[in-house]
Chains A and B, each alone.
Chain A
Amino acid sequence: MELSDLSAHELALYLRQRRISAVEILESCLKRIEAVDGRPGRLDGGPLTVEDEQKVHSFITLTPERARAQAEAVDRKIAAGEDPGPLAGVPFTVKDIFCVEGTPSTAASRILANFTAPYTATPVARMEAAGAVMLGKVNLDEFTYGSSNESSAFQPSPRNPWKLDRVPGGSSGGSTASVAAGEAPLSIGTDTAGSIRQPAAFCGVVGMKPTYGRVSRYGLIAFASSLDCPGPVARNVTDAALMMNTIAGADPHDSTAANVPVPDYLAALEQGIKGLRIGLSPDYFRITYPNLQNGTFETQPLPAEIEASVRRAADLLAAMGAEIVEGVPMPNTRFGIPAYFVISRVEAASNLHRFDGVKYGYRTPEPMNDLRAMYRQSRGQGFGAQPKLRILMGMYVSAAQYSEQYYNRALRVRTLIRQDFDRAFDPQGPYRLNALLTPTTPTTAFKMAALYGDSVLMQYADQLTVPANHAGVPGVSLPAGLDGEGLPIGIQLLGPDYREDVLLRIGRAYEEATETDPWRRVRPQALL
């Protein structure tokens, strides 16, 4: 086994024991990237070659010199007997939606392709302050708008390390692909409708969406400000807990980063789950989506393998002392996507008006007679189809004559979705859950190009993850086996506000229960 395959907590331990150095860890990860990643995403990336189809393509910008300087600084601290920090020497990748000082921070969009961030996002700064070593910026859907990474303006877009003709999911697909492929043990992503949990499920890794406000959004290029949550991607629960210890907590730079004490997520991990009440809801075992031909809605059960993974997890957790509560009603789950189509678009349209070709980013090279023409041409050429769609939809549904029908209605539906969770988690209520156990996604990773272009079906990939964003509650996706095609299946735990500790504890128990499962020893295709 190579160093790049070890977990973050093992690497941090071995480094402190002086069995390995930070530079050795870094070199191992760079070697892995060299072996499996292929060419990084580029604007006008040109046609895909046969070789491209065999590579992962996680990265937009690799920063090996910067990483080497950080790793050497960690090694110097250890040599001098100083505390190098809890994540010392642990490499991580950063979704290119975070600003990192001195690096291109592109949002995978032409409009920011030439933007170099003048400051560093709080979660990234906290990782670096803890001694973690940033390897570079990884790909995503343009401005995070997608569930497959195919909408990135930087091509080739990432591929699923488990099966290279599949998408890695999205929008944090570069993050989850890089972690699944052993390029880094950790990555920082963002989740607005499932953008950490869905690609984590597709790539067979752990991905956590913390409670809204648990992790600062300072330095995050905003999509939907009332829904965006930065969070960890890791290969196991302990590493996710270690990362949460570092990135969570109030931030004077973000007035929505809640002033709630951060527990030691690691300390809680091994406490067991005896007596915890874990719910199953029939509303998470089916999906409802529109038939665009006749305007009706169709409901289908989930694939049997996905449902079976959740049921098996419930059985294993019950055997470890948890109490499984069946039949928890979450009746508004199906309205998550339609409400999201409205709320996220209104917020996106507002956030994207700042990109105007004036202060930074792309400006049309054509001479323009007046300012308005320059705005139109710069935005028209700089934004891809997905941002344009979101801006236009956001403006339509918030227009004065429609906002009551659409935007205000969606905000009230959001209240109903929140009430589902309040009822399920209410300590005095009928269910008194500590967590809800659900599938993460309605399918495993789909083929590249299978959905891309159909913005409606693509959005429905988030049906089981988006309710937590509306409600603000935390969620985590855990790898739970492989389907008949060898693709990872993800299960999801959702919990009450600020109870990431309980979710991680249950996740750790599930890992212990499945430690000897044969699928845990299967390696992704990209590593064979």
Chain B
Amino acid sequence: MSEAITPEVFNHLVELAALALDPQEAEYVRKQLNNQLKAIHELEAIPLEGDIAATSHGVPYTVQISPALREDEWQPYPNPQGILAQAPDSSDSYIVVPDIPHTTLE
């Protein structure tokens, strides 16, 4: 059985996922992904007739049991400085990040 996730596909996924892997880790992860896909292929053998809808939640949510949504109201948070203090780099209540790359559209 040929590998579905080739090094090229893998590198593309890694780029999309904004990850960085060293070569040893990449080899392990890619092998595991291909193994997992073999397990996932079992799904293809299941007969699914046309009227089987997708379930995104096991328990049905009816109007009766769905909580009413809150009003969309502004509420003050007591400690914004505490939130900002968690940022790896901040200055004068701004979170600092490296340069954001710009692409000029043609």
Q: Show the binding face of A for B, using Cβ within 8 Å.
A: 115-116, 118, 211-213, 226, 250-252, 254-260, 289-290, 292, 295, 297, 334-335, 337-339, 341-342, 349, 353, 356-363, 368-377, 379-381, 383, 385, 388-389, 391-393, 395-397, 405-406, 408-416, 418, 453-456, 459, 469-473, 497
Contact = CB atoms under 8 A, between A and B. Distances in A.
Contacts of B21: 380, 388
Given A289-B39, A362-B88, A389-B29, 17 more contacts: A226-B56, A252-B70, A256-B61, A338-B39, A363-B88, A369-B99, A374-B97, A385-B25, A389-B32, A392-B10, A392-B14, A396-B5, A412-B55, A416-B46, A416-B52, A453-B28, A455-B35
Contacts of A455: 32, 35-36
A286 to B, nearest CB: 15
Contacts of A369: 98-99
B98 A373 contact: yes
A368 B96 CA distance: 12
Given A226-B57, A389-B33, A392-B19, A257 B98 contact: no
B70 A497 contact: no
B40 interface: yes
9 contacts: A256-B57, A259-B67, A359-B87, A388-B21, A392-B10, A396-B13, A409-B46, A411-B55, A415-B55
B101 A370 contact: yes
Interface string B11-43: 001101111110001001100110110111111
Nearest to A419: B52
B76 interface: no
B20 A377 contact: yes
Nearest to A343: B56
Nearest to A405: B44
A335 B46 CA distance: 9
Nearest to B22: A380
Closest A-B pairs by Cβ, 6 of them:
A472-B58, A380-B20, A411-B54, A472-B59, A363-B88, A360-B86
B91 interface: no
B100 interface: yes
B3 interface: no
A256 to B, nearest CB: 8
A458 B5 CA distance: 21
Contacts, number: 200
A477 B52 CA distance: 31
Interface in B84-105: 86-89, 95, 97-101
A259 B59 contact: no
B13 to A, nearest CB: 5
Contacts of A359: 86-87, 95
Contacts of B88: 357-358, 360-363
A368 B25 CA distance: 22
A337 to B, nearest CB: 7
B19 A213 contact: no
A408 B38 CA distance: 17
Q: Which of A360, A388, A405 has the most CB of B within 10 A?
A: A388
Contacts of A289: 39
A338 B18 contact: no
B65 to A, nearest CB: 4
B48 A412 contact: yes
A282 B82 CA distance: 55
A365 B10 CA distance: 26
Contacts of A388: 17, 19, 21, 25, 29
A393 B33 contact: yes
B17 A349 contact: yes
Nearest to B20: A380
A397 B44 CA distance: 13
B44 A456 contact: no
A452 B100 CA distance: 39
B52 A412 contact: yes
A364 B53 CA distance: 44
A380 B14 CA distance: 10
Contact of B18 (A211, A376, A410): A376
B39 A258 contact: no
A212 B35 CA distance: 30
Q: Which of B25, B35, B39, B53 has the most CB of A within 10 A?
A: B39
Nearest to A290: B39
B43 A255 contact: no
Contact of B48 (A252, A377, A393, A409): A409
